[in-house]
Amino acid sequence: MDRRQQKTRKAIFQSFTALLGEKSYNNITVQEIINRADIGRSTFYAHFETKDDLLKELCSELFGHIVNSAMDCTHTHGLYSDGRAPESVFCHLLQHLQENDSNILGLLSCESSEIFLRYFKDSLNELVRVQLLNQQDESGRRSRTDLPDEFLINHISGSFVEMVQWWLKGHRKQTPQELDGYFRAVIEPIL
């Protein structure tokens, strides 16, 4: 994708995100997105087939970036200027959320938040699978109960999303480190 296309795509994402802060997803029209992005209809459709495709791509970019950077702790965005990255991938993820790149916290708490929370949870599933369920203890065995993996993945991802919602509703009073401590205290006994 060339720079012109990237600039157009960014304008579409920014327009869409701004509109989501003002009204529900279902009440946003493609024409409103086009008007705000100051592009033509054919330009919009050259990038996205539908408004739903735009939503899916926006979520994929936002959550994919955050989850992938949490899995790769070398990708820190300057979060750890003292050189100490957190041991917990969940703390790392919470710190990225706290940075609020692309107004992600606004999207997770806007009128259409249920859509974004669902995408967020789906994005977390792979992180949970890689970071928690595939870990083994010193003897080479997985150190957890015999609950089905898919159940545990769904439970842990859902719990994390609910915790983020609780944090947002409480005006983010806790630090990422405090939240990480709460979360690990709840999930570690089942693992």
Identity at 72, one-letter amino acid code:
D
Report how far apart, in Å, the C-alpha atoms of 6 and of each of 11, 59, 69, 90 are: 9, 17, 21, 30
User: What is the predicted pLDDT for the residue at 144?
Assistant: 54
Phi-psi region of 53 (alpha: psi -120 to 50; beta: other; left: phi over 0): alpha
């802060």: which residue's tokens? 21
Contact between residue 21 and residue 103 where contact means Cβ atoms under 8 Å apart: yes
Distance (Å, rounded) from C-alpha 144 to C-alpha 129? 13
User: What is the predicted pLDDT for the residue at 139?
Assistant: 46
User: What is the predicted pLDDT for the residue at 81?
Assistant: 39
Tens of pLDDT along 58-84? 988 888 877 777 777 554 444 433 444
pTM of this structure: 0.76
Distance (Å, rounded) from C-alpha 191 to C-alpha 145? 6
Mean pLDDT by 10 residues, the chain (191 residues): 92 92 91 97 96 91 79 52 57 85 79 87 87 58 70 93 92 94 90 73
Burial 44-65 (b: 16+ CB within 10 A, else e): beebbeebeebbebbbeebbeb
Question: What single-letter DSSP state applies at residue 130?
Answer: I
